[in-house]
Amino acid sequence: MKPKVIVIVGPTASGKTMLSIEIATLCDGEVVSADSRQVYRGLDIGTGKVTPEEMNGIPHHLLDVADPMDVYTAADFARDGQAAINGILEQNHLPIIAGGTFFYVDALLGTVAVPEVPPNPALRASLEKRTAEALFAELQEKDAARAETIDPHNKVRLVRALELIDALGSVPTPTSEPLYDALFLGIEITEAQLHHNIYKRIIDRLDHGMIEEVVQLHANGMTYERMEELGLEYRYISRHLKGELTKEAMIDELNTKTRQFAKRQLTWLKRYTAVQWVAPDAVTEARALVHHHTQTHS
């Protein structure tokens, strides 16, 4: 019988963090964050990382586990996250996975398998110099099956596919069996409320020193190139610091890009068919669903 876990999903700024802590408090749980940016130390205000006070005594895992100058990958996340879940289960606590990086959620749950092939910087550097057309042609030649499913224009994916081929000879199939018996709780929020939350959050974070955080990171050696990769707050604030955007334009861009990100998340969530949707403040209802799930023998 597979271990039971709870997965709280929803777009950014929908209230996943608060709900996860409330459920953890009520159901003897511990939180496993599934956020590709909150894994980095020092990315606090910009990522909206929970503060120790907000944690309300609930243990949180997979926060601050990597240096922001390094790249912490989905595979790193799956490995460390599964270890964290096992630890929580050993304590007879309930693992509550909460976060907005759904690719990481899938990797963590084992529903998508990530091949054991780490990034090969030298190979990537040489592949990235070539055009997408050339990379695609090479992929067609070396692994026709993967070429069928890949986007011929997406260099990031093409590079990784060729990297896998270089190491394994072909691109392995991605699907695998889930490791856990998961209940998906989705936070249902109106578009108007979501937009309101997104904007308000940007203003709040600015008031709490978000720009200074980026200034500090840069002073400590983080390049603007790295800021670009990190995206959203780090990308647009660094553009502001470089003088490419006025503060007003930066706020505007960030607002728009965050909305777009939220929509991409919502698109992804459409593939999760078994989600139990609840309102952002429906703690009682969510708790009942959790109880039902943990007490049912499957």
Q: Which has the closest alpha carbon to 48: 6, 10, 98, 13?
A: 13
Q: Does 104 bind RNA (CB under 7 A)?
A: yes
Q: Is 110 in the site for RNA (CB under 7 A)?
A: no
Neighbour-count burial for 43-57, b at 16+ CB within 10 Å, e otherwise: bbbbbbbbeeeebee
Measure the N-to-C terminal CA separation of the chain; round to a whole number of Å: 7
The 78-97 contact track toward RNA, x by CB under 7 A, reads --------------------
CA distance 109 to 102: 10
Point out which residues pair with 6 in neighbouring strands.
96, 183
According to CB under 7 A, which residues from 261 to 280 bind RNA? 261, 263-264, 267-268, 270-271
Smallest gap from Cβ 257 to RNA, in A, equals 6
Work out which of 2, 153, 200, 291 binds RNA, going by CB under 7 A.
153
Site for RNA in 193-212 (CB under 7 A): none
CB of 49 to RNA, least distance (A): 7
Distance (Å, rounded) from C-alpha 82 to C-alpha 97?
11
Residue 172 touches RNA, criterion: CB under 7 A? yes
Core vs surface per residue 208-224: b (16+ CB within 10 A) or e: eebbebbeebbeeebee
Residues of this chain that interact with RNA (CB under 7 A) are 35-38, 43, 46-48, 71-76, 100-104, 112, 114-119, 124, 128, 145-146, 149-151, 153-157, 159-161, 164, 171-174, 228-235, 256-257, 259-261, 263-264, 267-268, 270-271
